[in-house]
Amino acid sequence: MVERKQLEEVILLEVVELLKEEKGEDVAVTLESGLVESGMDSLAFAVLVTRLEQSLGCDPFLALEDEVFPRTVSELVDLYVTYQLENVSS
């Protein structure tokens, strides 16, 4: 299981890299940053989830019954933490 701090670092890095690719410039992103406000649309979010699955080895969105679009980076981290707690044995 990946620790929360590591999840935060990986997710922040992936968000920043993806937004840089999308916008062509550096974007300041924190855990409190809004994904949509930072420039993340649904296509970019799908790419992000795919990259995170490759990096982290899991996709918590597959286990969800309802569609979820986290508002902030922190909410995205929360989804991965919750998924790991519920589905990954130590």
Look up the CATH number of the domain holding residue 74.
Answer: 1.10.1200.10
Task: Please tell me whether the overall predicted TM-score, pTM, comes out greater than 0.95 for this model.
Answer: no
Q: Given pLDDT bands bounded at 50, 70 and 90, which one contains residue 89?
A: low
Show the domain range for 17.
Answer: 4-87
Q: What whole-number distance in Å separates Cα of residue 90 and Cα of residue 82?
A: 14
Q: Give the pLDDT confidence of 27-85 residue by residue, as tens digits.
A: 899 999 999 999 999 999 999 999 999 999 999 999 888 888 899 999 999 999 999 88
pLDDT value of position 7: 95
pLDDT beyond 60 at 90: no
Helix ranges restricted to H, the chain: 4-23, 35-38, 42-56, 73-87
Total of domains in the chain: 1
